[in-house]
Structure 1
Amino acid sequence: MGTTQLSSFDNQYYLNRQSHFESNARSYPRKFPISIKSAQGAWLTDVEGKRYLDCLAGAGTLALGHNHPSVINAIKDVLESQLPLHTLDLTTPLKDQFSETVLNLLPGNPDEWRLQFCGPTGADANEAAFKLAKTATGRTPIISFAGGYHGMTNGTLSTTGNLGAKNPIGGLMPYVQFMPYPYAYRCPLGIGGEQGAQALANLFERMLDDVESGITKPAAVILEAIQGEGGVIPAPVEWLKRIREVTKRLGIILILDEVQAGIGRSGEFFAFGQSGIVPDMIVMSKAIGGGLPMSLVAYRAELDVWLPGAHTGTFRGNQLAMATGLATLDMITKQGVQDNVNVAGNALKAGLLALQKRFPCIGEVRGRGLMLGIEIVDVQGKTDMLGSLPYAPELSVALQQACFRAGLIAERGGRHGAVLRFLPPLTLSLDEVKQVLERLEIALNTITK
């Protein structure tokens, strides 16, 4: 049966078949009930011919949008080159070029870093980072942060804040300690602002220095410089610097999870770049593979204490992903895409702030670059000690659905799913920014009538 014949069916036909074929764990089709026929740039077209502005972009994976010519050409070049499509961890000239390119984008001297190619997901790369940190230090505990998201495997779920995914699962990785993360709008200490961030940094330091704190010295601390699934919460620069100072002083490995926020999305190549810190490990996936499965860990060379075969995986040598990753890195770093992130991101954030003035249900607009979110609140609720209104998860769901009906795809996240998140392609044009805001305004008017 050809694709032309297949596309003659409507969305519901495919959704019904999907519900029959696939597990109950599927999630996106419940939020966006479509069957996609084609995609280009920031646009999706379903089998019924309706077009949608895609501000999800594979959860941030499609940095250049759908079917970017440089990505398609990179795939064609590999297919015509007779390179093997997968090589385990055997090298090729393409892998050599990709590795050198990535190393040159890391902070400092490229010779001071090593790369570990992992399985296809960011979760596998985080698992590798945990294993290496434990091997290098001889210690077991890991410190993570409330609101953090690091994956759905046994180890990474243990370091993920979301209890909804964790509660049904017993026997998660032990010796994980959570600490509060700066969240100015809902400061866990009830202080907020710079003082709240400073107090949280002080708490982190004192808990690790206090011999009676009950916290065993960890092998590693893992965090996101901008929490993604946790609700688009950027870490304050001074807080990040303090975390780096404390971990360095105490000989604790600092892992920066840049799976979603990295590779240009924040306006810097890495989201931690604004702080000027240099972590011990950097975890990359999503956009690093140019839309195809890829993950890797960069770590300081002195931590390279693996024994041969200490971390393996069949799909570490995805040559197509290395080619599309190279094409994407070139576009981001040399072809003006990084500049566009800042221009389009500033325009989108300004538009969201303007909408916030007109729609009180937008409690806060936050994020950097093209990683932005709006927290939806209950305007009838009682404010907390910081003046913040309660979460409005039902309204957030209604807003997401109204956006979808208006032809805009955006994901939710954060506590109770009350944050509408925008992760569009980094190539988003100013005209498309305008259309995102117009469609969002239509949706806001729909739910606030």
Structure 2
Amino acid sequence: MTYTPTAKPELVPRVDGDLPGPRSAEYLEHQRRWESNARAYPRNLPIAIAGGDGSYLWDVDGNVFIDFLAGAGVLSLGHNHPEVVHAATEQLHVLTHGLDFPTPAKREFIDAQLSMLPPGLRARMRMHFCGPGGANAVDAAIKLCKTATGRGDLVSFQGGFHGSSHAAMALTGLVAQKRPIANGVPGVHFFPYSYCARCPLGLLRDTCETNCVGLLERSLRDPNGGIPLPAAVILEIVQGEGGIIPADRDFVRRLRALTAELDIPLVVDEVQTGCGRTGTWFAFEQYDIEPDVIIASKALSGMGLPVAVIFYDQRLDTWAPGAHSGTFRGNQAAFAAGTAAVHIVRRDDVLGNVRHRGHQLEQRLHPLREHPWVREVRGLGLMWGIELADPHDGRPAGGYARAVQAYALRRGLIVELGGRDDSVIRLMPPLTVTAEVVELAGALLAEAIEHCVPAR
């Protein structure tokens, strides 16, 4: 079946008939026949995408959806922001690929990105271009820290997600992803994260003393603790795939103090939270800390062109020339788009919009906190999660969440799932989303949650 593009539809959520529609079904069957069994998103969101504009996308059958997935956070300025598209298109006529040579587009991108760092960090940071994706940057950060410290072990946190490459997967908490892969990267020690809705230590937030980080403090300071001083500690400030879990402030600040005391590089993985998602350019800024390494990728270009970098303290810059290389580190169109995106973020006060729309979304979701099947509503900026659980035994209600996702899709709203048993409804709209779209999406989601309540 050949798809013939038509005029852009009216941008209001509308679904005619069953999903997938007949054209989408044809595309999905072609995908099933020829693509890897590891494909993921279309299994729960059975559509074939034809186009997008701002906070909306439409499928090949003409159905229109509010997109609160936004390319898993990649499309920070929405689908096809005209200025970003123009910047990338103009660059395509000049130079597309530059390895790691300096170029005008790359220099402007570097200057734009460094300008968004807090002033205290800016002067002492170096940048390394790692390859096209976030997992490439995670790999680079770990190699950097192992090289600089001469140590081999690493500390990560339960519930964290750092990618699906062989090395990044070793740092990820999701056991199901690692179980089929024998002989994974060794030397990773997992500690509890400040997930207060389901405390990994079985404590209550009102009476605990942030014991999750206390366990790490005692383990690393104890000469009989069994863990050699690690090369790095890696942390998501907000666990994304783990269920949109913002870290407790005391947890983060004590972790930073501990790693500074023991001279352990602290790596913050801002692949999903970076570039404004939480209301500041990087989420760590809201915790008043300065990490040693920052990992960034998804939204760097503002439009989905792949680029990944690490920012790191210059004292760690001890690796040799060519120690971490890769062919696709010089995506000039992504650099041009990313520079334009930073300009737009500043000019249009996009971070202010994130804070305002985030507050609006929080207020819109607030009544759900009283719903018996809602365990917690939590988030930061425009990164929100609604955790569903059985009110009788507290078990994650993954089946309910999947039903909500499917119903919302039929009503014209795309949301993603995450967390334990995929029981958390994740909301990550474009950072340019309007108040009207937030209100409409909130109403559709509330309808879906109420409509799909499991029968007893």
Shorter-chain TM-score: which interval? Answer: over 0.9
Asked if 1:240 is matched to 2:252, the reply is yes
Q: Write the letter of the residue equivalent to 2:384.
A: L
Identify the match of residue 406 of structure 1 among 408, 411, 422: 411
Asked if 1:300 is matched to 2:305, the reply is no
Q: Provide the residue aligned with 1:91 in structure 2.
A: 102
1:90 and 1:2 mapped to 2: Cα distance? 41
Higher helix share: 1
TM-score of the two chains, using structure 2 as the length reference: 0.93
Unmatched tracts of structure 1, length 5 or more = 383-388
CA contact (8 A) 2:89 2:333 kept: no
Identify the match of residue 278 of structure 1 among 287, 290, 312: 290
> Which whole-Å deviations, capped at 9, do the CAs of 1:332-373 have from their partners, x for residues lacking one?
23321111001111111111112333x321110001000000
CA contact (8 A) 1:155 1:173 kept: yes
Identify the match of residue 262 of structure 1 among 271, 274, 289: 274
SS at match of 1:286: coil
Moved more, 399-408 or 102-111: 102-111
1:29-40 equivalences in 2 (<5 Å) = 29-40=42-53
SS at match of 1:49: coil
Q: Provide the residue aligned with 1:179 in structure 2.
A: 191
> Which whole-Å deviations, capped at 9, do the CAs of 1:229-256 have from their partners, x for residues lacking one?
0010001112111001000110101000
1:91-130 equivalences in 2 (<5 Å) = 91-107=102-118, 108-130=120-142
Q: Provide the residue aligned with 1:367 in structure 2.
A: 379
> Which whole-Å deviations, capped at 9, do the CAs of 1:35-80 have from their partners, x for residues lacking one?
1111101101111111011111010000001001121111122123
Asked if 1:317 is matched to 2:330, the reply is yes
Q: Provide the residue aligned with 1:342 in structure 2.
A: 355
Identify the match of residue 175 of structure 2 among 163, 166, 169: 163
Identity %: 45
CA contact (8 A) 1:258 1:271 kept: yes
Q: Write the letter of the residue equivalent to 1:246.
A: L
TM-score of the two chains, using structure 1 as the length reference: 0.95
Unmatched tracts of structure 2, length 5 or more = 8-20
Distance 1:197 1:85, change over 3 A: farther
Distance 1:428 1:6, change over 3 A: closer
What's the CA shift for 1:279?
A: 0.4
Q: Provide the residue aligned with 1:329 in structure 2.
A: 342
Q: Provide the residue aligned with 2:10 in structure 1.
A: none
Q: Write the letter of the residue equivalent to 1:10.
A: R
Q: Write the letter of the residue equivalent to 1:125.
A: A
Asked if 1:397 is matched to 2:409, the reply is no
1:251 and 1:194 mapped to 2: Cα distance? 31
1:19-168 equivalences in 2 (<5 Å) = 19-80=32-93, 82=94, 84-107=95-118, 108-168=120-180
Q: Provide the residue aligned with 1:386 in structure 2.
A: none
Q: Write the letter of the residue equivalent to 1:204.
A: L
CA contact (8 A) 1:35 1:47 kept: yes
Q: Write the letter of the residue equivalent to 1:300.
A: D
1:210-249 equivalences in 2 (<5 Å) = 210-249=222-261
2:435 and 2:121 mapped to 1: Cα distance? 36
How many residue pairs get aligned? The number is 439
2:162 and 2:3 mapped to 1: Cα distance? 37
CA contact (8 A) 1:183 1:192 kept: no
1:135 and 1:93 mapped to 2: Cα distance? 31
1:336 and 1:111 mapped to 2: Cα distance? 24
What's the CA shift for 1:268?
A: 1.4
2:87 and 2:365 mapped to 1: Cα distance? 36
CA contact (8 A) 2:270 2:296 kept: yes
Q: Write the letter of the residue equivalent to 2:320.
A: L
Root-mean-square deviation (CA), in Å? 1.7
Asked if 1:422 is matched to 2:427, the reply is yes
Distance 1:406 1:9, change over 3 A: closer
Q: Provide the residue aligned with 1:4 in structure 2.
A: 4
> Which whole-Å deviations, capped at 9, do the CAs of 1:85-108 have from their partners, x for residues lacking one?
111100111111111121122231
Asked if 1:191 is matched to 2:196, the reply is no
2:201 and 2:448 mapped to 1: Cα distance? 34
> Which whole-Å deviations, capped at 9, do the CAs of 1:204-243 have from their partners, x for residues lacking one?
1111001111111100000000000001000111211100
What's the CA shift for 1:192?
A: 3.0
